[in-house]
Amino acid sequence: MTDGDLRLPGTERTVPLHWVLLGIGIVLDVVGLIWVLQGVNILPGSFMTGDRFWAYAGGVLAIAGMVLVALAMRRKADYG
């Protein structure tokens, strides 16, 4: 196991940490985008529709996702 790898439970296999960070970052970006679209009333059909709180919360979540994606890409470049 090298530095930056996560061991899968119950196995000897490992997953490079940058893949985990990338996956979580992409999920946060998608959820954040959905929340923003619902908050600004572009994507109707939810209790979040038209509520500015969800637009702001989605923006913060999407930014956090972008940071994780950037960290994952930097980590990939550092460790090959």
pLDDT digits over 51-64, tens only? 999 999 999 999 99
pLDDT of residue 78: 67
CA gap 38, 50 in Å, rounded: 6
Q: What are the distances in angstroms from CA 75 to CA 2, 23, 68, 79?
A: 13, 14, 10, 6
CA gap 40, 46 in Å, rounded: 12
pTM: 0.80
